[in-house]
Amino acid sequence: MEMFQVRYVLAAAKMLNFTKAATDCNVSQPALTKAVKTLEDELGAPLFHREGKRVLLSEFGRSILPHLQQIMQEAHATRTLADNFRLLNQVPIRLGVMSTIGHVKLARFLAKFQRDYHGVELEVSEASVQELKNRLEQGDLDLAVLNPLEGLGAAFRVHDLYCERYVVVFAPDHRLASLNAIKLVDLSQEPYVDRLSCEMRDLVMGACRERNVSLYARFRSEREDWIQSMVLARIGFAFMPEYSVTSPELLQRPLIEPAVARTVSLASVPGRPYSPATAAMVRAAQTFDWPG
């Protein structure tokens, strides 16, 4: 069964006249008649009763007509989907973002991307580095924004986007507010708000042990909004990536001696072809004017 045969049968069923149906399909009447007869032979029963120039649907033709109409509708839907995919119209991108990455800078990029490719639909979800890696491998995500730490290995394709420093954040009346930068030793014995979801937490805690810096964690949370709220409530200070600080009321100072920074990257699975929309996002990310 060919799609043109289905189209011819539907036109003939509508017009009940092969000549008019051929005109509607922009083919000759003999070509349409032959195509319909070929399909009838293939199906093993007549679709029409011929009465001179007039034709009527047979009982078999009436029973099969809804199925042929559905085939044509599905073909049109498939063609529309393919055109949208090619033209980046109503095409989804599944983007995973590491939960500790601040949304402000990333939102600037996503807003520009949607202005440039307004037909692309974005689905953004947050997760840990390990969960993002698993979802990329399983094909549940197209791209992920994360900190590759010591590297993701050959299992992933990584494009570095930007680097950001770790800063010390505290309430405006904190005793360290007069400093332009803060050494790790300056924080010893200070009340501390612990960001449990931070992928750099072990590195910072290791630096504290090496310098005999003792921190008193008065509050612990995996939620970034709670961390900043508790710092603002003067529960203690926190270490944060500079672009993750969203509260304008918090003070932040660079952490020095040692300085700590992380790289934020765009990850995908090598060897897996990009869709046109995903390829457009990768190109846009590589050329975007990222901070830092």
In three-state form (DSSP H/G/I as H, E/B as E, the rest C), the secondary structure along the chain is: CCHHHHHHHHHHHHHCCHHHHHHHHCCCHHHHHHHHHHHHHHHCCCCEEEECCEEEECHHHHHHHHHHHHHHHHHHHHHHHHHHHHHCCCEEEEEEEECCCCHHHHHHHHHHHHHHCCCEEEEEEEECHHHHHHHHHCCCCCEEEECCCCCCHHHCEEEEEEEEEEEEEECCCCCCCCCCCEEHHHHCCCEEEEECCCCCHHHHHHHHHHCCCCCEEEEEECCHHHHHHHHHCCCCEEEEEHHHCCCCCCEEEEEECCCCEEEEEEEECCCCCCCHHHHHHHHHHHHCCCCC
Give the pLDDT of residue 285: 95
Domains of the chain as residue ranges with CATH = 3-87 (1.10.10.10), 91-162+264-287 (3.40.190.10), 164-262 (3.40.190.10)
Give the pLDDT of residue 86: 62
Give the pLDDT of residue 154: 76
| pLDDT per position as a tens digit, 120-146 | 888 999 998 889 999 999 999 999 999
Question: Which residues does the chain have with pLDDT short of 50?
Answer: none
Give the pLDDT of residue 105: 85
